[in-house]
Amino acid sequence: MSFFLSKISISVSALCVKNLSFTLFPVNLRIPVRHYSLDKKSAKLSGSGTKIKEFPVETDTQKLVDYCCGSNYFVTGEDIKLKPESEYPDWLWELNVGPAPKLEDLDPNSKQYWLRVRRLARRHKNKMHSLRVKVLKQF
């Protein structure tokens, strides 16, 4: 049985006699190789680029008022018709759709406050780490 070692084919018995400690690779070993990135020329030939489909913008004002435009993703059918406000639950109108409240406005005894503190601390740590890497690369 022969193995491949730094472009030289040698027998196993010769290595056992000499007590060499090398990592041996069999001659018939196949290593799967995946090419994740393609150069620009081959990418153009393969047709991997996807074209963005543009949808027409609805300009009918009556349809914009009565229907939720864009809610139908099927080929056939129509968009969802909007109901009167009285048929929707009350909590729907109390949802915060604006910007998130500032940290100072939150109650320190709430879970939302501490989740925000943790997120801000993580962002700060990541920012400091990225600055440290940039400084170390300069030297």
Range of the domain at 130: 103-138
Q: Are residues 109 and 134 in the same domain?
A: yes
Q: Single out the residue of 31, 30, 35, 24 nearest to residue 1, CA to CA.
A: 24
Determine, yes or no, domain membership for 118.
yes
The least confident of 37-41, 77-81, 122-126 is 37-41
- Beta 8-11 vs 2-5: how paired, if at all? antiparallel
Determine, yes or no, domain membership for 30.
no
Determine, yes or no, domain membership for 124.
yes
Determine, yes or no, domain membership for 28.
no
Q: How far is Cα 118 from Cα 101, in angstroms, rounded to an integer? A: 16
Determine, yes or no, domain membership for 14.
no
Q: How far is Cα 27 from Cα 8, in angstroms, rounded to an integer? A: 10
Determine, yes or no, domain membership for 98.
no
pLDDT digit string, tens, across residues 116-139 = 999 999 999 999 998 887 777 766
Q: What is the DSSP string of 36-93?
A: ----HHHHHHHT-PPPPPPPPPP--HHHHHHEETT---SSSS-PEEPPPGGGS-GGGG
Determine, yes or no, domain membership for 130.
yes
CB 35 within 8 A of CB 54: no
- pTM of this structure: 0.40
- The total domain count for the chain is 2
Determine, yes or no, domain membership for 44.
no
